[in-house]
Amino acid sequence: MEQVTDHILAAARKVIAVHINYPSRAAQRGRTPEQPSYFLKPSSSLTVGSAEVPSTVERPAGCELLGYEGEIALIIGRPARRVSLEDAWGHVGWVTASNDLGVYDLRYADKGSNLRSKGGDGFTPVGPALIPAADVDPSQLRIRTWHNGELVQDDTTEDLLFPFARLVADLSQLLTLEPGDIILTGTPAGASVAQPGDVVEVEVTSGGISSGRLASTVVEGTTAFADFGARPKSDDTQREEAYGSREAAGLTVVVPVLTPELKKKLESVATATLSSQLRKRGLNNVSIDGLQATRPDRRVVGLARTLRYVPNREDLFKTHGGGFNAQKRAIDSVNEGEILVMEARGEKGTGTVGDILALRAQMRGAAAIITDGGVRDYSAVAGLDMPTYFANPHPAVLGRRHIPWDTDITIACGGATVQPGDIVVADSDGILVIPPAIAEELVDECIEQEKEEAFIFEMVKQGNSVDGLYPMNAQWRARYEQWEGAQGD
């Protein structure tokens, strides 16, 4: 099989990289783009490496976050200008492995261009072998990455957000893709940070065809950045981005604390009062709507944990629906006092939780389960002490309409956005999602509001008109303050 050579690299006038293309990466980043977006890498960043002769990549002096991203590289074989989706793949000559390296320490200075962070010499190794594009199905490629011999990325091109032909066709609408140009097609979840001395290997396969192992060894740079340019700097946000999560970066996971005192206050006020105070702060879309409750008499307060279902697709259900899937992981990891909130897209045609898993959540101390989908085994679920909020009963298993996909991410449930760690309050009036940062101030004003409303209720009960009383004018306000003072005596 033909090998990547310096001559082939020299033919690349453009290196174009895609930001997000794999669903696993989109889930990790917490955003799914509607259209592909791109950035350019200089052709001087290209190099070639193999298991026998690894490329060398320098982590610049003063930098700590050299990120690696195993990717599939497309090398253009025929000029492409305004080509159709149907014809686009025919303009790709070869496929090979690549590593989209970059230093997160310089992202702040790039304003989105990625030139400093990803444009360094040796930051785009490709190879070692060229797979003829005509010999493979672009939707049946496998990409794997090893970090010091440990497999850290393993994904396929079967369910890309933007199939390869679309990338070629899309780019060709505005610019001419020339023979030798390289398109880096995005990285799956699992990308992380390499240290000096580490070896990163990437391989692309299709059936029995392989690009071979593209190997790169990291070395420590010794030449400091000049004073007149951007200097490396990093923070916990960049560390989290580079490593893929706060946990992987060794950072403290910040979980908003619902103290017993705050919880008690929230339990003392109605969701109707909370809703009015949220509205005063411009938060008008924080109610989870359209659900019924197994225990409507309960008032529930807890921190949100989240679970997302995606529409069923039979091939993906085989890989994500069985075994210890995301649904079971969420149920089995919910903690004391937490509320498991499920995004089921309002789909009522199947169950999202049944009696056994609901019982498991109760045994783990969950405060409630909230789903905008159906519930199986309704009578048994309704008999549990733990409340469940749901759209309707339904006898079907989740595989009819859903695949349990991922956990502890931002979701939508009943028309509201819910993030892990949000405070959820539910009573007979409804379910509210409260941003933790404002909860203390919010509930204090709710308590004051309910005192005022208790006074107003009493005055109306005594036969007073609501005119000037609700809301209170200055005269009634003065009487209220006297009444409030008497309550404390």
pLDDT along the chain (489 residues), means of 10: 83 95 86 90 94 93 95 97 97 97 92 90 95 96 96 95 97 96 96 96 95 96 90 88 87 73 93 92 94 94 95 90 87 92 95 94 95 96 96 90 92 95 94 93 91 90 90 88 75
Strand 374-375 relative to strand 392-393, pairing:
parallel
Which CATH code for domain 6-243?
3.90.850.10
Task: Show the tokens assigned to 130.
Answer: 């060229």
Strand 150-156 relative to strand 411-413, pairing:
unpaired
What stretches of 300-438 show up as alpha helix (H) in DSSP?
Answer: 314-320, 326-333, 355-363, 378-382
Distance, CA of 272 to CA of 402 (rounded, Å): 33
Distance, CA of 197 to CA of 176 (rounded, Å): 40
Based on its alpha-carbon atoms, the radius of gyration of the chain, rounded to whole angstroms, reads 28
pLDDT at 254: 57
pLDDT at 243: 92
pTM of the model: 0.57
Distance, CA of 408 to CA of 225 (rounded, Å): 39
Distance, CA of 149 to CA of 127 (rounded, Å): 18
Q: Which residues contact 357 (CB under 8 A, 6 or more apart)?
A: 327, 328, 331
Q: Are 178 and 172 in contact (CB under 8 A)?
A: no
Distance, CA of 9 to CA of 202 (rounded, Å): 18
Q: Domain locations in the chain?
A: 6-243, 285-434
Alpha carbon distances (Å) from 178 to 1, 27, 127, 314:
23, 33, 19, 39
Give the 3-state DSSP-derived string for 132-154, with helices as H, strands as E and coil as C: EHHHCCCCCCEEEEEECCEEEEE
pLDDT at 253: 65
Alpha carbon distances (Å) from 286 to 8, 55, 196, 274, 470:
55, 52, 47, 10, 25
CATH match for 285-434 among 3.50.30.40, 3.30.70.260, 3.40.50.720, 3.40.50.300: 3.50.30.40
